[in-house]
Structure 1
Amino acid sequence: MAKRGSNQEVTGNNQEVTGKKAASAASKVLRDAKSSKAAKTAAASALTQRPNKK
């Protein structure tokens, strides 16, 4: 199977998560009316990779 740079096997199940600071920045982008559509799409993608609050 193909390997990633971090020696993690590439499977359909991506275990990477967005860090707290990056998620906070993404949230600010989504709330900013001046943010471009591309920026908001990237920010939303980052937030979907955050673990759920418990």
Structure 2
Amino acid sequence: MAAKNKTSAKAAKAASKVLRDGRTSKASKTAAGSALSQAPAKRKGK
């Protein structure tokens, strides 16, 4: 069953930063990737 809760924009931004940082551990990147996979799609335009 899929989770009803979604990752907030603030948390998604932090997770993205973790993934881009080469100094973070594999476990941190796994958690960040999981958080981003649960984030709602970013809307383009207005």
Kindly report structure 1 stretches of 4+ aligned residues shifted beyond 4 Å.
Answer: none
Gapped runs of 5+ residues in structure 1?
A: 1-11
Gapped runs of 5+ residues in structure 2?
A: none
TM-score (norm. length: structure 2): 0.84
CA–CA separation in structure 1 for the residues paired with 2:13 and 2:42 = 14
Percentage of pairs with the same residue: 58
Across the aligned residues of Structure 1 and Structure 2, the Cα RMSD in angstroms comes to: 0.9
TM-score (norm. length: structure 1): 0.73
Whichever structure has more helix as a proportion of its residues is: 2
Structure with the bigger RCO (C-alpha within 8 Å, sep 6+) is: 2
Q: Post-superposition shift, 1:13?
A: 2.6
Q: Which has more radius of gyration?
A: 1
